[in-house]
Amino acid sequence: MTDTVPSNTAYELTPDDLLAAYRTMRTIRDFEERVHDEFATGEIPGFVHLYAGEEASAAGVCVHLDDRDTIASTHRGHGHCIAKGVDPKEMMAEIYGRSTGSCHGKGGSMHIADLSKGMLGANGIVGGGPPLICGTALAAKLQGTGGVGVAFFGDGASNQGTTLEAMNLASVWNLPAIFVAENNGYAEATSSTWSVAADNIADRAAGFGMPGVIVDGFDFFAVYEAAGEAVDRARKGGGPTLIEVKFTRYFGHFEGDQQKYRADEVARARETLDCLKRFRGRVTETGQLADHQLNEIDNEVARLIDEAVAEAKAAPKPTEADLTTDVYVRY
C-alpha cells in the first residue's frame, strides 16, 4: 500500500533550520526566474529547463544530506544543485559557458555538476541518474560510510527501463538509495495520466519490495518528513524508498516551449499553492519566524543573483587549449 505523508513537522525544525530552508528555496526561485529573463536576451547558449515551482522537493530532501551523500539529477537540475550546496555564482557562470563555471563552461545547464558537493550532475539522458545512484549507494554500503544516494527523476523517467532496473537492483542488494519521482504532470508535453499505467508512480514501489510514499510537492514540511524517514531508514540498513512528489513546474519543459498543452494551472498554482508562500504563511502564523527575517533573506538572495549574473557575463570563455583538458579522469 502506498502511503500519503501529511505535513506536521514544522515544530521539529529550529528557527535556524527554517531560515536555511527558506534561503534554499528562495535562492532556487530567484535563480531560475533570472535565468528565464536572461535566456530571452540570447546570451545564454544551449537549452535550459527551469525548476521554478518545484523548490520544496529539492530543499526538503537535501536538507537531510551531508558530504557523505550523493545525488543524481535530471535535465531540470539547477534546483538540485543549489539544494546540495553548489555555488550559485559558479552555476551561473557555467550556464553562461564561462571558464569560471562549476564545469569550466563545458557542461552548461543540462550537464552542470560538482562532484565535491556530491552532486553527480544534471543529465540529458532521461532515466540516466538512478543507475548512477545504485553505484554510489553500493560504494557507501561497502565502505561503511553511512552515506546514501538520492536519484531525482521525473514522471517521464519513471517509465524508463534504467529507472525500473535501478529500483529492482537497489532492493535486491538492499542499498541505501532513495528514488525521488518529481511528478510535475508532464513528460515534456505528454500528461502523466496518459503515460503512466498506475494511479501513482509510488504505487510501483510494491513491485520492488520497497516503501512507496506520496507527498504534496508544494509543502516543504511534507517533503521534509517523508525524506527524513527515508534517509534515516537507508542509513540504518533498511534499504531503498520511493518517494513521489506531486507539483507543477512554473515554466515550460524548456525555455521557448509554447505550452499549448496547458491551461491556467500555473497561474492557480502560483496564487494558491506556491511553496514559498505556504512556507512563509506557516512559519509566521505559528510565530516561529517573523516577516522581517524572511524579507532580509529575500534581499540578500536578490543581491547574490545580481552579482552572479554580473560576474558570469564578465568572466572569460574557455579557450582552444581548454579543449584538451578534463578529458580523462585522474585517480
What structural domains and CATH numbers belong to the chain? 3-315 (3.40.50.970)
Question: Would you list the DSSP string of 205-252?
Answer: GGGGTS-EEEEETT-HHHHHHHHHHHHHHHHTT---EEEEEE---SS-
Q: What sign does the CA torsion over 321, 322, 327, 331 have?
A: positive
Q: Would you state the pLDDT for residue 266?
A: 72
Q: Would you state the pLDDT for residue 218?
A: 96
Q: Would you state the pLDDT for residue 250?
A: 86
pLDDT band at 327 (very low <50, low <70, confident <90, very high): confident
pTM (predicted TM-score) = 0.92
Which cell numbers hold the place of 137?
A: 549507494
pLDDT tens-digit readout, 186-225: 666 566 776 777 789 999 999 999 999 999 999 999 999 9
Query: In whole angstroms, what is the distance from residue 148 CA to residue 150 CA?
Result: 7
**152 membership: H or E segment, kind and range:** strand 149-154
Average pLDDT over the chain reads 92
Percent of the chain with pLDDT over 70: 93
Q: Beta partners for 181? A: 153, 244
Cα torsion through 83, 84, 88, 89, rounded to 10:
170
Q: Would you state the pLDDT for residue 185?
A: 75
pLDDT tens-digit readout, 83-108: 999 999 999 999 999 999 999 999 99
Q: In the predicted model, is pLDDT for residue 278 greater than 80? A: yes
- The larger pLDDT score, comparing residue 114 to residue 252, is at 114
pLDDT tens-digit readout, 120-136: 999 999 999 999 999 99
pLDDT tens-digit readout, 16-67: 999 999 999 999 999 999 999 999 999 999 999 999 999 999 999 999 999 9
Place of cell 521525473: 154
Q: In the predicted model, is pLDDT for residue 316 greater than 70? A: yes
Q: Would you state the pLDDT for residue 194?
A: 65
Q: What is the mean pLDDT of residues 62-84?
A: 97
Residues 6+ apart with CB under 8 A from 284: 290, 291, 294
pLDDT band at 4 (very low <50, low <70, confident <90, very high): low
Rounded to 5 degrees, φ, ψ at 313 are -65, -30
Query: Do the beta carbons of residue 189 and residue 250 sit within 8 Å?
Result: no
